[in-house]
A = this chain, B = another copy of it.
Amino acid sequence: MGYYSEHYSQNVKDVLAEIDKALCAVDSESVERFVDAVLKADQVYFVGVGRVLLSLQAICKRLAHLGIKTHYVGEITEPAITEHDLLVVGSGSGGSLFPLGIAKKAHSIGAKIVHIGSNPHSEMKDLCEFMVRIPVRTKNYLEDEIDSIQPMTSLFEQSLLLFGDVVAKMIIDERGLDMKSLWRYHANLE
């Protein structure tokens, strides 16, 4: 039992320390621009794949609870994007086929694009208005990347979810939203 107890506590500490480092390395100006972009858009779209998509869907759901019109690319009732909308691309490397292809399409339609990722030198650079950089380890091994003891890109996915939840919290505070009054945006069937 001693082994497990220690092993668990140590891992919790290490993982949280990694996330702390990653989130604190985000430029606060990009956070401000991100909040602004979300609040100014008619609708906010999210695109990503794998566990990154799951983090984006969680953000998409929480922001919807605040009365923001959100969608993820691929959802059943996804409407057309327009030049008044924002596309948030979640991709550590910035080079995945699907997010990149969708970003190009959205760009050609005139939608505003923000890239949340780690690698600032990807093709996304020429498509997005600005980048929210969470500088964690990717395959690119940039010098300033935060290393991780965790497998694959867990650290990016975790940081992404928490970044989104912190942004939601900031919007609630800034707007003085009373969560109880927002019941109509929350599913009530389950």
A39 within 8 A of B: no
Query: Whole-angstrom distance between the alpha carbons of A77 and B165 in the complex?
Result: 16
User: In the complex where A50-B187, A187-B79, A187-B80 touch, is A4 in contact with B16 (Cβ < 8 A)?
Assistant: no
Q: Is the CB of B77 within 8 A of A190?
A: no
Q: Which of these, B106, B149, B166, B185, contacts A80 with CB under 8 Å? A: B185
A49 within 8 A of B: yes
**Which residues 105-129 in A have Cβ within 8 Å of B in the complex?**
105-106, 109
Query: Whole-angstrom distance between the alpha carbons of A64 and B79 in the complex?
Result: 8
Proximity bits, A12-35, B CB within 8 Å = 1, else 0: 110110011001101011011001
A136 within 8 A of B: no
> What copy number does this chain have within its complex?
4
Proximity bits, A129-168, B CB within 8 Å = 1, else 0: 0000000000000000000011110100110011001101
Q: Which residues of chain B are within 8 angstroms of A60 by Cβ–Cβ distance?
A: 76-77
Interface of A is mostly: helix
Q: Is the CB of A58 within 8 A of B54?
A: yes
Query: Whole-angstrom distance between the alpha carbons of A93 and B166 in the complex?
Result: 24
Q: Is the CB of B97 within 8 A of A101?
A: yes
User: In the complex where A16-B19, A19-B16 touch, is A169 in contact with B11 (Cβ < 8 A)?
Assistant: yes
A81 within 8 A of B: yes
Q: Which residues of chain B are within 8 angstroms of A74 by Cβ–Cβ distance?
A: 49, 74, 190
Q: Is the CB of B75 within 8 A of A77?
A: yes
Q: Is the CB of A4 within 8 A of B20?
A: no
8 closest Cβ contacts across the A-B interface?
A5-B28, A4-B32, A78-B187, A64-B77, A80-B188, A97-B101, A11-B166, A12-B23
Query: Whole-angstrom distance between the alpha carbons of A72 and B187 in the complex?
Result: 11
Query: Whole-angstrom distance between the alpha carbons of A172 and B20 in the complex?
Result: 23
Of listed A11, A64, A150, A189, residue having the most chain B CB within 10 A: A189
